[in-house]
Chain A
């Protein structure tokens, strides 16, 4: 089966940097995705990592270490609008994603 672990809540202040970790145990692994979801809204795609290393997209970066079954999402220059839930999701090759339970990020002024 598949299991993903991520912290349930993270709090940070505006302008700071925050890292949201995700560890996974899966039978088969092709890649790790990150999605953002604001309260009452739909999830939206942030990134997909298939290879080890850091990928940067603006203020957001995503990292993957396949040997450690570990990834993280890094958010820089935090803004109030970044307050949301963040989900990691694994691609096990079954054509569908398995999502973690999500990390609720609260950005404080």
Chain B
């Protein structure tokens, strides 16, 4: 199906474990983004990518790693999960950055115990 998907939708993990959140889009959009959403903070940008093999830090990148070997995929890895990384994570894509509509995936609710 066309669109943007995220997996898993829900994840519970323990402190110190590595976790990878997947994001896949079928529009061939150049730009992809990872946000986290916590109560009272809105959406905060973690990392974004302008094209395959090009990534940039956002507002809150510490503790996260991204890669983009293919245009359609943009995985987010928490190398050693901490409780403060409990959040809802949204992936988004757009044709050309901030001026264009960003299409959001359904989100991944991550709980770190």
Residues of A within 8 A of B (CB): 30-31, 33, 35, 41-45, 48, 50, 87, 89, 91-102
Which chain A residue has the least Cβ–Cβ distance from B106?
A42
- Taking residues whose C-beta sits less than 8 angstroms from the other chain, chain B's interface range is 20 to 34
Which chain A residue has the least Cβ–Cβ distance from B31?
A95
B104 touches A43 (CB 8 A): yes
Task: Tell me the bound Cα distance from A97 to B104 in angstroms.
Answer: 13
Q: Could you list 19 A-B pairs, sorted by A, with CB under 8 Å? A: A30-B99, A42-B104, A42-B106, A43-B90, A43-B92, A44-B104, A45-B103, A87-B43, A89-B43, A91-B97, A92-B98, A94-B98, A95-B48, A96-B48, A97-B102, A98-B45, A99-B35, A100-B42, A101-B41
B105 touches A42 (CB 8 A): yes
Q: Inter-chain contact count A-B, CB under 8 Å?
A: 62
* Chain A residues near B56 (CB-CB < 8 A): 95-96
Distance in angstroms from B44 CB to nearest chain A CB is 7
Distance in angstroms from B14 CB to nearest chain A CB is 25
A48 touches B42 (CB 8 A): no
A91 touches B104 (CB 8 A): no
